[in-house]
Amino acid sequence: MSKKIMVMSSSLDGRLLTAIETAKELGIKTVACIREEDDESLAGADHCYAVGSDDVHKLLEIAKKEEIDGVLGVWDKTVLPAAIIAEELGLPGNSPECVTSFLEKSRFRRLQKNAGVFFPAFFETDTVQGLKEKCSKLHFPVIVKPVLCSSSFGQTMLYDDKDMIPAFEKAAAHSRNGSVCVEEYIEHGSLRILEAEIFLVGDDILWDGIYWCYRFPEAPLRPVLVTFPVSLDNCQEAEFKSTVKKVLSASGARIGEFDVEGFFTNEGRFFIIEINPRPAGYYCQQDVELFCGVDFTKLMVTTFIGDMSYFEELNSFQRQRRYLLSYAVFSFQPGFFDHVHIDDSIKESLVTFRVLPGGEPGAYIEDIHADNRPVGLAVFEFSSEEELDQAVRSIRKLVYVVLKQQNGV
């Protein structure tokens, strides 16, 4: 009898669609839970339910009715309901307390403190009362961010307390519990951070998905460009892995894919900006597979129904190592989208271009500063590290959004 997995997302996101597709290829029955406003037929699952991610009681009823063998939450809003369902039904997963310690920004800082790793001074508040007084105890610049949110939405960096109230209101509006975290900005001196998709099973961690993530000066909180591979010296690799292991251990995590973001301080400590207890967006799992050949979606789907065969197979799997660049294409000004220009000099290096919702010709799009997603993802492969580095330096001139002209202008 086939196994059955339930996949939950707050949208028809690529993580849900690829998980459903992978499960079906493996002969696993699928149940999708999506938003009420989404088209159920587009999920591609054997059974699909439109239900809000906050209706845990209804989601649990569906899980029991479908007699599922595993449950996945692939979006921030669905990770906690998935953990609750897994605990209730005795399925593979992490505890709700563990998941919450990653989801809530201020609770994650406390987790870092308990794990004995580097973390910034911070405080949490759900009111503007006493906000400036509390900020006076921190060193500027500070980041004001929603306690419960994702994709860098609602964040503001402040160099003084002048715009503290608007920054608080913006963050609170994006935060699912209305609370805001204010923390000292740890100076990095670079727009490049280290990011990793790692996979945990018990005490074992797969480190295959490590990559560089770049921002642009105009939008320093917005990830736009990732490259593979990453080469760390022995001290950096040991510090990175030790820090991540300590935090995962302190959280009680036992299984799953985690998205880690951070960088090395001037003192050589690895500062974890955040760990998301779910896959990164923008088809990162597919980029990891293109880079090294390890299918993180397959890992996630199989292990969460208790099948460890693929995980064990990877012990002897020969990894490849490709020079990849994945570019999230944003517009630098608002307008009506026409197309993405890709220069002839780089077209031969294009591996794939993934169109994202909202990136259809004629759609009105905001600029990179708005809380929106890119119009698409362009993935390129190069033959050497030198070619890859050159592409990173020139990517904005080679790949960019073209807007429709209005009134002949």
Tens digit of each residue's pLDDT (9 = 90 or more) over 66-103: 999 999 999 989 999 999 999 999 999 999 999 999 99
368's tokens: 């990179």
Residue 381 has pLDDT above 90, yes or no: yes
H/E run at residue 206:
strand 204-214
DSSP SS3 for 375: coil
Q: Which two tokens stand for residue 127?
A: 């009111």
Q: Could you tell me how far CA 240 lies from the centroid of its own chain?
A: 19
Q: Model confidence over 250-289: pLDDT tens digits?
A: 999 999 999 999 999 999 999 999 999 999 988 999 999 9
Cross-strand partners of 378: 327, 353
What does pLDDT average to over the chain?
93
Nearest to 276 by CA among 215, 213, 230, 319: 213
CA-wise closest residue to 45 among 64, 68, 61: 68
Backbone angles phi, psi at 307, to 5 degrees: -100, 110
In Å, how far are 131, 144, 174, 241, 269 from 166, measured between CA atoms? 12, 10, 13, 38, 33
Summarize pLDDT for 46-55 with one digit per residue, the tens: 999 999 888 9
Q: How many other CB atoms are there within 10 angstroms of residue 54's CB atom?
A: 14
Tokens of 25: 């290829």
User: Distance (Å, rounded) from C-alpha 221 to C-alpha 279?
Assistant: 19
- Whose tokens are 């169109």? That residue is 355
Q: Rounded to an integer, what distance in angstroms lies between the CA atom of residue 111 and that of residue 187?
A: 21
Counts for the chain of helices (H) and strands (E), in that order = 13, 19
Helix segments in 118-258, DSSP class H: 131-135, 164-174, 234-251
CA–CA dist 277, 236 (Å, integer): 23
Please give the pLDDT value at position 133: 82
Q: Is 31 helix (H, G, I), strand (E, B) or coil?
A: strand
Percent of the chain with pLDDT strictly greater than 70: 98
Confidence at 34, pLDDT banded by 50, 70, 90: very high
